[in-house]
């Protein structure tokens, strides 16, 4: 790989430096945009002679020039192209629209479109916003930049995915993740974005409304994220550019949780025992250890990245290429975690003739991920008790919690000794062939694989204190998963010439896709020593405990799709889209095929004379769409009954056994989302101010729900199509160029979105409990409410007197200084009937504001992002605030109730005998609203030419800071977490997740 890049690099340098005879020739050429539209009025200037000309109405020009002279092509609203004239004739130059121009091109499903001609709602992120984000994945960089898209990181683990919800979640049991499409290749909604080098990405377009997503049929309902990688198409002919880019940064632990220190905790635990009349855990509370475990297992962690790419076009423009190599290495803030990537990309387009084009896009990556060895939330809660010593007197890792004396993992030992890493090798991409069958009719066929191989290696040494104490030896295992996905798409486009007032393009296609995955796992136990680890599982000396397993998964899809865009007089736009999908998942039923149609209209008001006459708008467009998209929502084989394998034991010998796993249902069908969208786009003041406003209303019906059935049937639930959910929302995006002077520019982009989810029907039940992280359900889906809501009893502070307890009528063990909860129904006992809705993870608004200041060669980007009105459920509060002496306590419990501090609303030590009495309650629900200074970047670009550096086109340096400041009231590290990961509906829970870093980076970019 490296050698290939080297050759290309040499080649590129040769092209750039050929000094040829200085002989003036008259050249002619043509300037077009990326859509092939001829551009009028572009300036063409020659560097040495100073000759200048403008392109005419058909985009053509002619100019006298010397070989080797540099030509510059510029036009307002387009990126300037410079190239060295090497004798090409005629010169064909494409100018790409500028970032801040509204006339931009957006990628839509199976094609591209000018934004002005769109009838649907699509959000785009391009250029610098995607560059050099200090993360292995691109999803976080979309946060706050596109309206209607709510992106929440789950935790700070290097490479951790984000939860992405486009216009709210449609499904309860099914996936709500959007579909990812990379260079036209459908990679699915569970694609591991770590495989993609973020610096290979040219643009990201997010399809939101019904007509935009309907072309993806059954997989479009959650929105579609189209990622386009860089290519050589549109580059100046005969030139190649070598770009080198590197950054290095340090991540610092951002916020800390304040706990009682070791002495304070010992005092708490003794106070607890004293009150409950049990023996004191600490005979001398002043002589206990005092350990800051979080400091001990975290570090200032480096992050580094280097890319090298070569891109360009052959001298006749027949071959365009982009090749890149990437190395990324991020160490985690928690010791011994991190992710490394080696990436390679090759995009190639070859025009074999005027009619036939072929090419490929290929991405190859290798990930090496060190998984987090500690359970961070368990550590905060109990394992890393501040008065637990790391080592005992003899220097061995301690193995128990000093208060409960229960054997508890030692986080430091986990960090030092455990082995746990993932190795991923991933290849995806497609080969394509495009043939112009007749004038205006093009056939395109593409075929591509997605191959993924995952291996997980794990080993827990016998030296881990919890293993050592029972002398059980080490244990280790491996997991492998290899999958292959194939996609073939066959498309015909027809763009007839219909005269001035009519524009039509029609697309039809047939596609099929298959997926097959095999996985296996093997675990061995009782390793007599820790030498061979997972490399030789046969060393596990306890064969009866050894585990083996394997599994198989597969699915297939076939689809027919069609789309027609019609434009009348450049003002009235119409779109019709339809897709028929057939899915293997429903092949056991009569509903294997689903049809998802949609339609849209738009009216370019700005083109009407009466608006033009107002001389206010540069662009004004109204658009509306309605249609449906589907979701398969279920994994493979779910319509089939199955026997699950279990094990029975006779005289300690395992025997094979089966149980009825789940009932069959051959009436299953797709979930369907019908969506209405109305949008208004306007720009004013010479395109200096633009805004885009969208309203949408989505109704998802036939929700695939595992409906609880009476357990007397022997089954827990049966999968059925029941229930519906509605999402409505408003999205606003404002672009403005506040200042535009020759030496100073200031641009701003503001996004603001609000989504309201409401459960309309749950198939006959009033609610479904989602998760119960504390006592009683904490997350619930309730008809009439968002998904999910936090439920529990209301915390009213402490009992202040016995009289207060007696007057309340509450029975059970209520004591003065103990926690008081609201007995909502007044029956004297706290039960689930007293549960109320306490909040929801759904923000009222999310948004972001980007400001870009350009002064001469300096650029300053400042990006702020935030949410407002969401709550977060903090499960750590159950132990850290309410009780149990074996768990860490918030620092605020210093001010707990004591006979001397009788007005405190923090429960007294010992009042909570069992956590079972601390129901899910309002103290656990906190305000999740926050504002984050997400990015500040200062860059300095210098034209190498100006510095007299030869062979170098551009050099830029930058400093950037990520996640610099967080304004939030949340007790733990960061409110932007999800302890249930990407779980569909259990959003907004926190148990103390892997913390985030504040990242400072320094980078250099250079092109040659």
Partner 1 sequence: MKNNKKFSCLTGCVLAIGMLFSCDKFLAEDPRAVLSPENFFNSDVEVKAAVNGVYAALYTDGLYRQHGINHALGYGADDLEPTRSGDGALNDICNYTLSEARGARGREVWISFYKMIQDANVALAKLENNERISTQYKSQATGELLFLRAFAYYNLTNIFGDVPYYRENLSIDEVQVLERHNKNLIRNDLIADLQIAQDALPGNYQTSELGRASKWAAATLAVKILLWQERWVEARDKSVEIIVGSPHRLLAHYGDVFKLANAYNDELIWCIDFVRDINPQGFTSIFVPRLSDEPKVSSQRPALRAALEARNEGFTGNGLAAPMLGFVEDFPRDDLRRPHNIVENYLGFDLNYPYMPKMWNLDQINSPRGNHGDNFIVFRLADVYLMAAEAENEANGPDQAYQYVNKIRERAYAPEKPLHGLSQQHFRQAIYDERRWELAAEFHRRMDLIRWGILVDVVKNTKTRTYNPAENIMPHHVLFPIPEEEILLNPNLLTTDPTNNGYR
Give me the least distance between CB of 579 and partner 1, in Å please.
12
Q: Indicate the residue among 439 and 613 with the shorter CB distance to partner 1.
A: 439
Any contact of residue 545 with partner 1 (CB under 8 A)?
A: yes
Helices (H), 18-96: none
Chain position carrying tokens 């080198």: 244
* Contact stretch for partner 1 (CB under 8 A) within 89-97, 109-117, 437-445, 610-618: 437-445
Q: Indicate the residue among 586 and 696 with the shorter CB distance to partner 1.
A: 586
Token pair of 990, please?
A: 């926190």
Contact pick of 711, 742, 807, 950 for partner 1 (by CB under 8 A): 711
Q: Indicate the residue among 506 and 680 with the shorter CB distance to partner 1.
A: 506
The tally of CA atoms less than 13 A away on the side-chain side of residue 660 is 10
Contacts of 640 (CB under 8 A, 6+ apart): 588, 664
Task: Tell me the β-bridge partners of 363.
Answer: 345, 428
Any contact of residue 803 with partner 1 (CB under 8 A)?
A: no
Give me the least distance between CB of 815 and partner 1, in Å please.
12
* Contact stretch for partner 1 (CB under 8 A) within 230-238, 319-327, 749-757, 830-838: 830-838
E strand segments, 285-388:
301-313, 319-331, 338-351, 356-370
* Contact stretch for partner 1 (CB under 8 A) within 199-207, 452-460, 736-744, 829-837: 829-837
Query: What is each CA distance from 841 to 51, 157, 778, 920, 957, in whole angstroms?
Result: 62, 21, 12, 16, 40
Contact pick of 642, 693, 734, 894 for partner 1 (by CB under 8 A): 642
Residues 917-956 that bind partner 1 (CB under 8 A): 917
Any contact of residue 496 with partner 1 (CB under 8 A)?
A: yes
Neighbours of 901 (CB within 10 A): 13
Q: What are phi and psi of 411, to 5 degrees?
A: -55, -35
| Contact assessment for residue 419 and residue 459, using Cβ atoms and an 8 Å cutoff | yes
* Contact stretch for partner 1 (CB under 8 A) within 6-14, 114-122, 304-312, 404-412: 404-412
- Residue 213 DSSP class: H
Q: Indicate the residue among 134 and 526 with the shorter CB distance to partner 1.
A: 526
Minimal CA–CA distance to 698: which of 597, 636, 626? 626
C-alpha to C-alpha distance for 149 and 591, rounded to whole angstroms: 31
Give me the least distance between CB of 805 and partner 1, in Å please.
16
773: left (phi over 0), alpha (psi -120 to 50) or beta: alpha
Q: What are phi and psi of 994, to 5 degrees?
A: -45, 120
Q: What are phi and psi of 916, to 5 degrees?
A: -60, -20
- Residue 986 DSSP class: -
Any contact of residue 284 with partner 1 (CB under 8 A)?
A: no
The answer, yes or no, to whether the previous bond of 90 is cis (omega within 30 of 0) is yes
Any contact of residue 440 with partner 1 (CB under 8 A)?
A: yes
C-alpha to C-alpha distance for 303 and 250, rounded to whole angstroms: 6
Any contact of residue 709 with partner 1 (CB under 8 A)?
A: yes
Q: Indicate the residue among 61 and 523 with the shorter CB distance to partner 1.
A: 523
Residues 900-919 that bind partner 1 (CB under 8 A): 913-914, 916-917
C-alpha to C-alpha distance for 494 and 111, rounded to whole angstroms: 12
C-alpha to C-alpha distance for 760 and 673, rounded to whole angstroms: 13
Any contact of residue 649 with partner 1 (CB under 8 A)?
A: yes
162: left (phi over 0), alpha (psi -120 to 50) or beta: beta
Contact pick of 279, 284, 353, 743 for partner 1 (by CB under 8 A): 279
Query: What is each CA distance from 333 to 253, 462, 923, 937, in whole angstroms?
Result: 7, 26, 29, 22
C-alpha to C-alpha distance for 1001 and 66, rounded to whole angstroms: 43
Give me the least distance between CB of 375 and partner 1, in Å please.
17
Residues 553-612 that bind partner 1 (CB under 8 A): 553-556, 558, 560, 582-585, 587-588, 592
C-alpha to C-alpha distance for 697 and 729, rounded to whole angstroms: 7
Any contact of residue 353 with partner 1 (CB under 8 A)?
A: no
Residues 254-273 that bind partner 1 (CB under 8 A): none
Any contact of residue 499 with partner 1 (CB under 8 A)?
A: no
Site pattern 63..102 for partner 1 (x: CB under 8 A)? ----------------------------------------
Distance of CA 29 to the CA centre of its chain: 44
Contact pick of 17, 25, 80, 550 for partner 1 (by CB under 8 A): 550
Minimal CA–CA distance to 687: which of 116, 91, 47? 116
Helices (H), 731-808: 802-808
* Contact stretch for partner 1 (CB under 8 A) within 99-107, 702-710, 745-753, 923-931: 702-710
Token pair of 535, please?
A: 């490399």
Q: What are phi and psi of 582, to 5 degrees?
A: -120, 130
Q: What are phi and psi of 462, to 5 degrees?
A: -65, -15
Residues 442-481 that bind partner 1 (CB under 8 A): 443, 470-471
Any contact of residue 657 with partner 1 (CB under 8 A)?
A: yes
* Contact stretch for partner 1 (CB under 8 A) within 68-76, 743-751, 808-816, 926-934: 808-816
Residues 661-680 that bind partner 1 (CB under 8 A): 663
* Contact stretch for partner 1 (CB under 8 A) within 121-129, 403-411, 677-685, 730-738: 403-411
* Contact stretch for partner 1 (CB under 8 A) within 67-75, 402-410, 727-735, 855-863: 402-410
C-alpha to C-alpha distance for 828 and 345, rounded to whole angstroms: 67
* Contact stretch for partner 1 (CB under 8 A) within 180-188, 446-454, 657-665, 796-804: 657-665
Q: Indicate the residue among 180 and 523 with the shorter CB distance to partner 1.
A: 523
Site pattern 147..186 for partner 1 (x: CB under 8 A)? ----------------------------------------
Token pair of 38, please?
A: 């001829």
Any contact of residue 659 with partner 1 (CB under 8 A)?
A: yes
3-state helix vs strand vs coil in the chain, percent to 5? 15, 50, 35
Any contact of residue 548 with partner 1 (CB under 8 A)?
A: no
Residues 848-877 that bind partner 1 (CB under 8 A): none
Contact pick of 499, 812, 899, 948 for partner 1 (by CB under 8 A): 812
Task: Tell me the β-bridge partners of 349.
Answer: 320, 359
Give me the least distance between CB of 518 and partner 1, in Å please.
9
Give me the least distance between CB of 489 and partner 1, in Å please.
11
* Contact stretch for partner 1 (CB under 8 A) within 38-46, 131-139, 380-388, 646-654: 646-654
Q: Indicate the residue among 62 and 706 with the shorter CB distance to partner 1.
A: 706
Contact pick of 813, 857, 895, 901 for partner 1 (by CB under 8 A): 813
Q: Indicate the residue among 655 and 743 with the shorter CB distance to partner 1.
A: 655
Q: Indicate the residue among 610 and 650 with the shorter CB distance to partner 1.
A: 650
Any contact of residue 506 with partner 1 (CB under 8 A)?
A: yes
Distance of CA 790 to the CA centre of its chain: 24
Give me the least distance between CB of 639 and partner 1, in Å please.
8
C-alpha to C-alpha distance for 936 and 1003, rounded to whole angstroms: 13
Give me the least distance between CB of 907 and partner 1, in Å please.
15
Q: Indicate the residue among 126 and 585 with the shorter CB distance to partner 1.
A: 585
C-alpha to C-alpha distance for 986 and 782, rounded to whole angstroms: 13
């Amino acid at each position: 790989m490296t050698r290939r890049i080297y050759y290309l690099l040499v080649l590129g340098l040769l092209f750039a430096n050929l000094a040829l005879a200085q002989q003036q020739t008259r050249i002619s050429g043509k300037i077009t945009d990326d859509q092939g539209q001829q551009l009028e009025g572009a300036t063409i200037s020659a560097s040495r002679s100073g000759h200048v000309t403008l392109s005419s109405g058909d985009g053509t020009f002619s100019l006298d020039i010397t070989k080797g002279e540099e030509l510059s092509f510029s036009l307002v609203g387009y990126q300037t192209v410079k190239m060295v004239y090497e004798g090409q004739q005629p010169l064909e130059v494409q100018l790409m629209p500028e970032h801040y121009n509204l006339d931009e091109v957006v990628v839509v499903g199976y094609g591209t479109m000018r934004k002005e001609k769109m009838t649907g709602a699509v959000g785009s992120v391009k250029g610098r916003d995607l560059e050099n984000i200090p993360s292995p994945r691109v999803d976080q960089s979309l946060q706050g930049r596109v309206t209607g898209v709510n992106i929440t990181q789950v935790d700070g683990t290097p490479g951790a995915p984000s939860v992405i919800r486009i216009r709210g979640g449609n499904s309860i049991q099914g996936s709500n993740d959007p579909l990812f499409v990379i260079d036209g290749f459908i990679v699915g909604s569970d694609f591991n974005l770590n495989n993609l080098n973020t610096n290979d990405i040219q643009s990201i377009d997010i399809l939101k409304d019904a007509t935009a997503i309907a072309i993806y049929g059954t997989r479009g309902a959650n929105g579609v994220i189209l990622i386009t990688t860089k290519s050589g198409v549109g580059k100046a002919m005969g030139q190649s550019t070598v770009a080198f880019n590197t950054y290095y940064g340090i991540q610092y632990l951002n916020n800390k949780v304040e706990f009682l220190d070791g002495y304070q905790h010992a005092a708490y635990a003794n106070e607890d025992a004293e009150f409950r009349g049990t023996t004191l855990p600490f005979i001398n509370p002043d002589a206990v250890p005092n350990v800051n475990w979080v400091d001990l297992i975290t570090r200032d962690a480096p992050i580094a990245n280097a890319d090298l790419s070569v891109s360009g076009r052959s001298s006749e423009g027949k071959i365009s290429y982009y090749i890149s190599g990437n190395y990324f290495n991020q160490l985690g803030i928690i010791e011994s975690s991190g992710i490394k990537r080696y990436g390679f990309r090759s995009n190639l387009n070859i025009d074999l003739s005027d009619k036939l084009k072929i090419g490929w896009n290929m991405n190859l990556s290798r990930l090496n991920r060190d998984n987090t060895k500690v359970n961070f939330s368990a550590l905060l809660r109990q394992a890393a008790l501040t008065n637990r010593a790391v080592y005992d007197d003899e220097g061995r890792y301690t193995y128990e919690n000093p208060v409960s004396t229960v054997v508890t993992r030692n986080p430091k030992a986990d960090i030092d000794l455990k082995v746990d890493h993932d190795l991923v090798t991933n290849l995806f991409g497609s080969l394509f062939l495009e043939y112009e069958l007749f004038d205006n009719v093009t056939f395109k066929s593409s075929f591509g694989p997605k191959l993924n191989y995952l291996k997980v290696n794990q080993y827990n040494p016998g030296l881990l204190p919890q293993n050592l104490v029972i002398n059980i030896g080490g244990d280790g295992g491996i997991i492998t998963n290899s999958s292959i996905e194939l996609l073939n798409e066959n498309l015909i486009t027809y763009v007839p010439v219909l005269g001035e007032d009519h524009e039509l393009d029609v697309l039809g296609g047939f596609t099929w896709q298959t997926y097959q995955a095999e996985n296996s796992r093997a675990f061995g136990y009782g390793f007599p020593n820790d030498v061979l680890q997972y490399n030789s599982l046969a060393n596990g000396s306890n064969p009866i405990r050894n585990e083996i397993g394997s599994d198989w998964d597969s699915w297939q899809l076939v689809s027919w799709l069609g789309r027609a865009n019609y434009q009348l007089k450049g003002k009235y736009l119409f779109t019709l889209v339809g897709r028929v999908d057939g899915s293997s998942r429903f092949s056991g039923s009569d509903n294997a095929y689903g049809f998802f149609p949609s339609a849209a209209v738009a009216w370019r008001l700005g083109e009407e004379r009466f608006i033009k006459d107002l001389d206010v708008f540069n662009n004004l467009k109204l658009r509306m769409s309605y249609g449906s998209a589907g979701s398969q929502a279920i994994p493979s084989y779910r319509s089939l009954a199955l026997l699950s394998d279990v094990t029975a034991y006779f005289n300690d010998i395992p025997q094979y056994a089966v149980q009825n796993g789940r009932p069959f249902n051959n009436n299953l069908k797709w979930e369907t989302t019908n969506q209405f969208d109305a949008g208004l786009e306007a720009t004013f003041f010479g395109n200096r101010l633009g805004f885009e406003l969208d309203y949408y209303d989505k109704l998802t019906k036939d929700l695939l729900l595992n409906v609880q059935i009476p357990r007397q049937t022997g089954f827990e639930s049966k999968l059925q199509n029941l229930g519906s959910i509605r999402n409505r929302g408003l999205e606003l995006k404002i672009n403005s160029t506040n200042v535009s002077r020759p030496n100073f520019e200031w641009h701003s982009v503001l996004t603001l979105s609000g989504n309201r989810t409401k459960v309309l029907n749950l198939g006959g039940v009033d609610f479904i409990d989602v998760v119960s992280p504390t006592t009683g359900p904490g997350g619930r889906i309730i008809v009439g409410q968002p998904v999910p809501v936090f439920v529990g009893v209301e915390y009213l502070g402490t009992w202040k007197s016995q009289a207060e307890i007696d007057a309340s009528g509450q029975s059970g063990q209520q004591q003065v200084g103990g926690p008081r909860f609201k007995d909502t129904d007044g029956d004297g006992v706290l039960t689930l009937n007293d549960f109320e809705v306490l909040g929801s993870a759904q923000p009222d608004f999310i948004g972001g504001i980007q400001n870009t200041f350009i002064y001469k060669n300096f650029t300053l980007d400042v990006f702020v992002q935030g949410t407002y009105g969401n709550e977060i459920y903090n499960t750590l509060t159950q132990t850290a605030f309410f009780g149990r002496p074996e768990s860490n306590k918030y620092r605020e419990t210093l001010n707990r109730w004591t006979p001397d501090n009788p007005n405190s609303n923090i429960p007294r030590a010992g009042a909570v005998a069992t956590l079972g009495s601390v129901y899910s309650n309002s103290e656990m629900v906190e305000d999740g609203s926050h504002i984050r200074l997400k990015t500040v970047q200062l860059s300095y670009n210098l034209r190498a030419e100006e510095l007299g550096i030869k062979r170098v086109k551009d050099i830029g340096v930058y400093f950037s800071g990520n996640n610099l400041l967080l304004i939030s009231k949340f007790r733990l590290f960061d409110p932007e977490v999800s302890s249930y990961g990407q779980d569909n509906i259990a959003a907004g829970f926190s148990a103390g997740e892997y913390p985030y870093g504040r990242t400072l980076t320094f980078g250099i970019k250079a092109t040659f």
